[in-house]
Structure 1
């Protein structure tokens, strides 16, 4: 069991980093938020969050590139034939989701940040288990819907008030580390400017 706060903050941090590096994507998210909220500074409602479709794709692409929990383990409950191999009952299998999410057969140009990978027609053409940042099957994350709403609330709240810019001083590139949850060992450096 993982508490949702670690996975959520990991996703938010990496999303802010990617939005800083891709100002056109950031502008498109802000345009969507302006269509939803106009000049209002009211809090987001559940209905508003459902209408943040482009922001959802940005978050999905962030989780593809920086899956909060990139490695999961499963115990096999019965013998499984896999190609010419048999995985015996009782074995523990390590699933490296990060590698899955960077498979160029599933995600062409996997190092490119492209939220349009999650347009409905594109998603339909992919195997349902090609993308599983919240695990999958009977052991998937029970908080994934809540987590997605939480991430939308945080990012939309920041983008409604601030523009995300690169830091003024040179900062180290992201160096990924894993401590149950994916993190940047060098931190995530951005600068905020009032809108």
Structure 2
């Protein structure tokens, strides 16, 4: 397709700084509400962590839900602050401090696809609707995935242009 064919004429695109903020909102949402809050791993050999030894042949649970709320890495951890991701502010986080999709060789192979889906869905919904909070506040339920026992009570009101 020729460069100036006008194929995108009339379509609205978010300016780069708005897309950057959307990235920050998604990262902060994933920090507070990781899709997989509990990860199980098998430890075949002894592992030394600080002064603690985890014996080999052990099944363990990792809790990203709590790691992502550690005040040592995330000041004011219970507060939703997308700005904490602006300008590489958290670029100096240690490895495995931000793991909403797990990390290492067994991390979620679909995380890039999930992030692209989130960006597409959020930008489309926000462009056409105003979000309204309805009903009860979310109550986290820890199963294989993070969900809400009180439902997801969100209303959509069409935007008037």
After superposition, where does 1:91-130 map in structure 2 within 5 Å? 91-130=58-97
Q: Deviations over 1:35-94 (max 9, x none)?
A: xx99626xx8xxx99x82211110110011011111001111321112333212211121
After superposition, where does 1:10-89 map in structure 2 within 5 Å?
40=11, 52-89=19-56
- The root-mean-square deviation of aligned C-alpha atoms, in Å, is 2.3
Unaligned runs of 5+ in 2: 1-7
The structure 1 segments of at least 4 consecutive aligned residues displaced by more than 4 Å after TM superposition are none
Distance in structure 2 (CA, Å) of the matches to 1:112 and 1:38: 40
Change (3 A) 1:65 1:136: same
Specify which structure has the higher proportion of helix. Answer: 1
Residues 151-178 of structure 1: CA distance to partner in whole angstroms, max 9, x if unpaired? Answer: 11111110110111233xxx22211112
For the pair shown, which has the larger CA radius of gyration, 1 or 2? 2
The partner residue of 2:100 within 98, 118, 133 is 133
Counterpart for residue 13 of structure 1: none
Structure 1 residues not aligned, in runs of 5+ = 1-36
Q: What are the within-5 Å matches in structure 2 for residues 134-149 of structure 1? A: 134-149=101-116
Deviation at 1:128, TM superposition (A): 2.6
Give the match for residue 117 of structure 2: 150
Alignment deviations for residues 123-167 of structure 1 (CA, whole Å, 9 cap, x no partner): 212113111001001111111101100111111110110111233
Aligned to 1:191: 155
Q: What's the secondary structure of 1:52's corresponding residue?
A: helix
Query: CA 1:159–1:66 in structure 2 vs 1: closer, same or farther (change >3 Å)?
Result: same
| Aligned counterparts of 1:124 and 1:165: Cα–Cα separation in 2 | 33
- Of the three residues 176, 182, 185, the one matched with 2:140 is 176
Aligned equivalents of 1:181 and 1:38: distance in 2? 41
